[in-house]
Copies of this chain bind each other. A is one copy, B any other.
Amino acid sequence: MIDLDTLKYENGLILAVVQDQKSREVLMCAYMNREALEKTVKTGIAHFWSRSRKQLWKKGETSGHLQKVKEIRIDCDMDSVLLLVEQVGGACHMGYRSCFYRNLKGEVVGEKVFEPKDVY
């Protein structure tokens, strides 16, 4: 097990990319502090640091759309992590499975899996 203290946090945060373990779809990006990463490792449920709310954020706590973490990878520079997860429902607050549901042409290419008004 790699010591979480050896990872490179920038202003206390490390970047986390979240990928669906089965479909390999990239679901979202977020940031973790040391505590969020530790909680993620211990509980097997993705936790992040909300930079806007300035608090620990258990993804899906309100919506039920949890991310069950199956594997965590680290990059060569040790300044970002990749979570391979089983996503309950959708990762995106707009109702899509992935936050990357649009391309640069402006076309919607992602799958809508819930109606935000029914969930939040």
- The listed residue (B15, B94, B96) touching A15 by CB distance below 8 A is B15
Of the listed stretches A42-50, A59-67, A76-84, chain B binds: A76-84
Number of A interface residues at 8 Å Cβ cutoff, please give it.
35
Chain B proximity mask over A82-100: 1 for CB below 8 Å, otherwise 0: 1000000000111010011
Q: Is B104 within 8 A of A28, CB to CB?
A: no
Interface members, chain A 10-28 (any B CB < 8 Å): 15, 17, 19, 23-26, 28
Beyond the given A17-B29, A29-B29, A75-B99, could you list 16 further A-B residue pairs with CB under 8 A, ordered by the A residue number?
A1-B104, A1-B106, A2-B106, A15-B29, A26-B82, A28-B75, A29-B80, A71-B104, A72-B104, A73-B104, A73-B109, A74-B100, A74-B103, A76-B92, A76-B93, A81-B104
Residues of A within 8 A of B (CB): 1-2, 15, 17, 19, 23-26, 28-29, 41, 71-77, 80-82, 92-94, 96, 99-106, 109
